[in-house]
Structure 1
Amino acid sequence: MILLEPFQFAFMQKAFLISAMVAVPTALLSCFLVLKGWALMGDAVSHAVLPGIVLAYVAGFPLILGAFAAGMVTALATGYLAQNSRVKQDTVMGVVFSGMFGLGIVLYTAITSDIHLDHVLFGNMLGVQAHDLWTAGLIAAVVSGVLLLSWKDLMLHAFDPAQARASGLRVGLLHYGLLTALSLTIVATLSATGLILAVGLLIAPGAIAFLLVRSFGQMLAVAVVVCLGAMLTGVYLSYFLDSAPAPTIILVLTAIFIAAFLRRLARVRRAAI
């Protein structure tokens, strides 16, 4: 049967598997980023890992280590500069992000390598290897577990940092812990969606859930369901459309967001009548 044809190929099976793996942590994290107003932080970190990848290649280290190191440097530098200067956080993120991404491009063009920049930027979901699955699975399990165990503390910190500090929570630990989870999650999605499209997974699920539900607990659950469904649907459709899975997934998430927005708009108009 032609509808079941995508499930017969090993590369498609791996694409479905890594999609399911990264859907949970990206969806959970997107809720906190949307609530905290850190949508641009995901964009900044996802682009800024490029110089770490290039330097890791030159030094002969695993690319994942370079990506994580660069992501952490970017996240910590952004958080420190925003907290200790008069410059607003979105401005700091723009400066750090553009500087790191520019450095990565310069380093990439300055060396001779067999790294395909397209795969780094846009992912290579149909070419994932066993070690990519193990890496994504391990990071996804750790990040998802930490977020689920501490979601109430992180929610309070994201919604009202002053109240969180008054309640005795270790605000600094929560702040930099969330940045660490962000960097790890981007590393997990590196082989799947790449650097550029990873930001879509870190924003869209939380934004969609925010439009559909009113409580944060429900928001987490809806975001996971939406992200998982969109990723599996995107991979499935890409086979028949003969398109790359990652951008197809983003298009599916965009369509769901538009539908959720129109539903919300219709409900507001009905309530106003």
Structure 2
Amino acid sequence: MLDFFLAPLSYEFIRNALVVGVFAGVLCPVVGTYLIVQRMALLGDVIAHAVMPGLAIANFLNINLAIGAFISGMLSTFVIQWIRQQSRVKVDAAMALIFSSFFGLGVMLLTTLRTQLDLEDLLFGNILSVTVGDGWRTGAIALVILVLVKLFYKELLFFTFDPLGAQAMGLPVQVINLGLMSGITITLIAGMQAVGVILVIALMIGPAIAAYLLVKELHQMMIVGGILGAIASVSGLYTSYYYDLPSGPAIAIAVFVIFLLTLLFSPTQGILTNHPFKRGIESHTKSG
């Protein structure tokens, strides 16, 4: 059994992938928790796809890809907000429009600008190619964002559950919202290298909603979600190693398996553990 866990660690690329995967697995669900409780999970998917034009332009201009991705991702959130403020269009419709428009623009720019970016790697990730430097960078991003979440937890909590109340209390809600959107965008960019544009949203949302079925408090969701995200990353990488599967999709499937197990067996909200027939038996037993 010990050889099962130690054998892959003899390869440096596996060790690097595990480091990046764990950092992304912890960070993504912590930030994704805010999207879940705000019922804005689709926004993460929108931003994940909206970074594509920025990546293409940054590569064409020979500047840091993260800069282009961040600008493009943030621009998508501003456009969604602008559409909501200037029209009767609902937020879900605005997000769906921006999702398809930015992603289509990104694919078009990747083709017309003749960039050297591999579309398949952008979409599905290539975690096995990460370096030690990538691990340090992902770890630094995770540390900074987690520290900021800790420092401004009360303000973010108030804003998340009652934005109007937060504004009435004098909190700078626009600044808080900008900071939250920035954190989400940076987290998505950091996670993209692990599982790609399409699958990073699974790592951000899946462990968070699994944690939502297990605990009730926001800070508990973050802790449990981070643990589940790390487990999904590690188990996905080991599965991809032993069964010769693509790493990104393997991590996404591991996320879904964890969610499915939680959905079925959660002590308080599981389908099987809280079946109506079982609850009826327990109620009858107590009354008897």
Count, aligned residues = 273
Q: CA 1:223 to 1:2, structure 2 compared with 1: closer, same or farther past 3 Å? A: closer
Aligned-pair CA distance for 1:3 = 4.1
Aligned-pair CA distance for 1:9 = 0.1
Looking at structure 2, the residues matched to 223 and 174 of structure 1 have their Cα atoms a distance apart, in angstroms, of: 22
Asked if residue 265 in structure 1 is aligned to residue 271 in structure 2, the reply is: yes
Q: Superposition RMSD on alpha carbons, in Å?
A: 1.6
1:112 to 114, 125, 132: 114
Looking at structure 2, the residues matched to 143 and 39 of structure 1 have their Cα atoms a distance apart, in angstroms, of: 19
Pairwise mapping of residues 1-273 of structure 1 onto structure 2 (< 5 A)? 1-263=3-265, 264-269=270-275, 270-271=278-279, 273=283
Looking at structure 2, the residues matched to 226 and 182 of structure 1 have their Cα atoms a distance apart, in angstroms, of: 19
Aligned-pair CA distance for 1:2 = 4.6
The structure with more radius of gyration? 2
1:140-161 C-alpha deviation (Å, 9 max, x unpaired) = 1111111122223212212121
Looking at structure 2, the residues matched to 83 and 8 of structure 1 have their Cα atoms a distance apart, in angstroms, of: 55
Looking at structure 1, the residues matched to 145 and 14 of structure 2 have their Cα atoms a distance apart, in angstroms, of: 25
1:191-217 C-alpha deviation (Å, 9 max, x unpaired) = 111111111112111100111112222
User: Secondary structure of 2:194's partner?
Assistant: coil
Looking at structure 2, the residues matched to 80 and 147 of structure 1 have their Cα atoms a distance apart, in angstroms, of: 26
Looking at structure 1, the residues matched to 137 and 55 of structure 2 have their Cα atoms a distance apart, in angstroms, of: 16
Q: Aligned AA for 2:271?
A: L
Which has the larger displacement, 229-238 or 1-10? 1-10
Q: Aligned AA for 2:225?
A: A
Looking at structure 1, the residues matched to 196 and 232 of structure 2 have their Cα atoms a distance apart, in angstroms, of: 17
Looking at structure 2, the residues matched to 131 and 13 of structure 1 have their Cα atoms a distance apart, in angstroms, of: 13
Preserved contact between residue 18 and residue 133 of structure 1 (Cα < 8 Å): yes
Q: Percent sequence identity over matched residues? A: 33
The runs of at least 4 consecutive aligned structure 1 residues that moved more than 4 Å come to none
Q: Aligned AA for 2:34?
A: F
Looking at structure 2, the residues matched to 218 and 187 of structure 1 have their Cα atoms a distance apart, in angstroms, of: 25
Looking at structure 2, the residues matched to 207 and 74 of structure 1 have their Cα atoms a distance apart, in angstroms, of: 24
TM-score by length of 1: 0.95
Looking at structure 2, the residues matched to 165 and 260 of structure 1 have their Cα atoms a distance apart, in angstroms, of: 36
Q: Aligned AA for 1:190?
A: M
TM-score by length of 2: 0.90
Which has the larger displacement, 221-230 or 143-152? 143-152
Looking at structure 2, the residues matched to 223 and 85 of structure 1 have their Cα atoms a distance apart, in angstroms, of: 36
